[in-house]
Amino acid sequence: MTRKIAIFDTTLRDGEQSPGASMNTEEKLVIARQLLRLGVDVIEAGFPISSPGDFESVRRIAELAGDQATVCALTRAVEKDIDSAADALKYCKRPRIHTGIGVSPSHMRDKLRITEDECVERAVKCVAYAKKYVEDVEFYAEDAGRSDYAFLARVIEAVIKAGATVVNIPDTTGYSLPEEFGARIEYLMNHVDGIENATVSVHCHNDLGMATALSLAGVRCGAAQIECTINGLGERAGNTAMEEVVMAIKMHGEELDAHTDINTREFIKASRLVSSITGMGVQANKAIVGANAFAHSSGIHQDGVLKKRDTYEIIDPADVGAGQSQIVLTARSGHAALKHRLEELGYELEGEPLDQVYDAFLNLADKKKEVYDEDLESLVNERERNESALYSLEGVQISCGFPLTPTATVTLRNQADQVVTACEFGTGPVDAMCKAVNKIVQVDNDLTEFSVQSVTRGIDALGEVTIRVTAPDGDVYTGRGADGDIVVSSTKAYLNALNRLLNDKQGKRG
């Protein structure tokens, strides 16, 4: 029997640190439900001390998970961080506190300004302090990929003696080569007294495009937990992609002496859900979950696949949830069919929220022959985006074309139920629209990114716009909007970004 490799998902913590990928509590709960369907072993739900929203997310995900998964909260090696994490996990059935400190010369010298002895002392202290609250304590040795072998072993041995049940060896900067990182894990397995009493975990970043290879090298040399995210979301170039390492282990389990308990048929749903909520698209040629992962355009490839699938496909698409039969939703579909399909996508709606999505669904279905899963995700997210809006769109009208001057008339409704209209000129229709919205909302911002793509195939597809704006203090806010009219989509997206900016600033002032 091969070794069980625990899958530690950090989409809701490290993944959320991708610029523009922040999620609110309700969005995190939707993703957490899908992670439970996947069967992940650990959900790192957030960094409780960082904000009231993160604290609440950890608390509610801990409640949601029950006995199904361990719920983990991140901290620095600071007592108040650990106190906050323990408070958020108070009613969790399987709690874990994840605490640690930088161990590389760079981190100790330039960031922390401490000596090696002080580093060991602080590492032991934070683990012992967390141990007062929970039995399951994970220690992360930040930037372990660039640390001294002997010193890293010294730190790991000390924290295991202090009570750490899991020791996380991150390649925080994605610097290592797979062979070297594997050798580092092997060194720890052979030189740390008591290493058999703890689970060795790997947490790798993709700065050089090798996060999956690094994680697998760690497993080959003794690691029994992989920390990863859906779609490889994460800081900078991202983290190890869960779908990649899990399918690699599934394909090469005997060679790696490894297996996982992940329900791989949920990968496509998970990928689309995370992409939809965060606004971070998945490249078409992305391994396992990309749109082209199981597509064949070459005539030679097509001929081979038609004769026998595995001539060009090493993975059965059904094993990751691709190409499954699905209910075809049209204007003749009722509430029951819509509710069933939404539940399959991870959305649990009842009563008025379901009625609102159903009405939007009927309006869309009247314009399209078929409504796809991506359309439904856009409709649900559109409703959720409007729930906490300080300003809602009542109407937008554009006049443009050669030789006209682009002109936009925008009508918004504010929280006081007042309807305000503004008209502005611009260099193009979107520029004119943004100026008109700014005239009403009056909040300083810089539009730094604008992208548009069709949600599904076909000339009648919804157009989905993603906009990112930067506030004067440097904070980035993402807005998304979908509609059959690209200008309307753009207006919804821009207004969504400004509403997020305003809500955040009001929350900080409060």
* Amino acid, res. 84: S
Residue 205 annotated as binding?
yes
Q: Please check whether residue 150 is in contact with residue 120, taking contact to mean a CB–CB distance below 8 angstroms.
A: no
Instruction: Classify residue 506 as left (phi > 0), alpha (psi -120 to 50) or beta.
Output: alpha
3-state secondary structure of 409: strand
**Residues with Cβ within 8 Å of residue 154, at least 6 apart in sequence:** 116, 120
Instruction: Classify residue 106 as left (phi > 0), alpha (psi -120 to 50) or beta.
Output: alpha
How would you classify the pairing of strands 3-4 and 6-9? unpaired
DSSP conformational letter for 368: -
3-state secondary structure of 459: coil
Tell me the two tokens of residue 376.
């439904």
* Amino acid, res. 188: L
Residue 164 sits at the vertex; the CA angle it makes with 225 and 88, to the nearest 5 degrees, is: 85
State the residue for tokens 């809602």. 392
Burial class (CB in 10 A: 0-12, 13-18, 19+), 496: buried
**Residues with Cβ within 8 Å of residue 470, at least 6 apart in sequence:** 445, 446, 448, 476, 477
Alpha-carbon distances of 493 from 175, 383, 386, 400, 418, rounded to whole Å: 37, 13, 11, 20, 21
Of 462, 10, 20, 486, the C-alpha closest to 277 is 20
Residue 203 annotated as binding?
yes
- Hey, what's the torsion of the CAs at 351, 353, 357, 358, to 10 degrees? 10
Can you tell me the distance from the alpha carbon of 487 to that of 12, in angstroms, rounded to the nearest whole number? 32
Tell me the two tokens of residue 399.
């006049």
Annotated binding site: 14, 203, 205, 239
Annotated binding site for Mn(2+): 14, 203, 205, 239
